[in-house]
Structure 1
Amino acid sequence: MQTNVWPTMKWIDYQMKWNPSDYENIRTIRVPPEKVWLPDIVLFNNADGNYEVSFYSNVVIESNGEMLWVPPAIYKSSCIIDVEFFPFDEQTCAMIFGSWTLIKMK
């Protein structure tokens, strides 16, 4: 199954906090994704090992360290298809996302 997705990834990076009053009351900035740490979220049931990205959206950083990244991507995932009632069948396919390196929360 090929799917266009815009996963919304949010996290807090305490090293990215600042006091807006020290910087002309700037509360939000946008930076290229290659300039900051990004979570290593992958599609575990990826069918071909690749994903296509049409463009790399900026990461939105709030002064309290909140990070927001919504990278558009096209994934190919694998799932079991049941065609018993074809052509009136309905399919449900779960996309399983997770961190590639994080084992568990500490």
Structure 2
Amino acid sequence: MQLQTQLEELLQKCSPSHLEILNESSGHGGYFPGKESHFKVTIVSDVFQGLRLVQRHQKIYSLVGDLLAPSKIHALAIHAYTHDEWTGERPDSPNCAHAPKHASS
């Protein structure tokens, strides 16, 4: 089973009203088609109500921790919101210093 699918299944335990998982592996060094190493998660759920940012991340890590291993997911960006906080927009990811370089024209 693909890592992205596993990630999605585990995060369903938060009963999200919005869940977006982006595979950002292609923007990082060592990329090849099908690689799953870097993900960005945007999740909206009221299970985050009253939790500080670090507590929200801890909740996510407790669900998906087994996927965070050198042979699996290398990096996971988390954007966790309650329904009241969600504006419909998520922040862009920064460029990776080790991203594949493209020849300039």
Decide: shared fold, TM above 0.5. no
Q: Which has the higher strand share?
A: 1
Bigger relative contact order (CA 8 A; separation at least 6): 1
TM-score of the superposed pair, with normalisation by structure 2: 0.29
Q: Which has the higher helix share?
A: 2
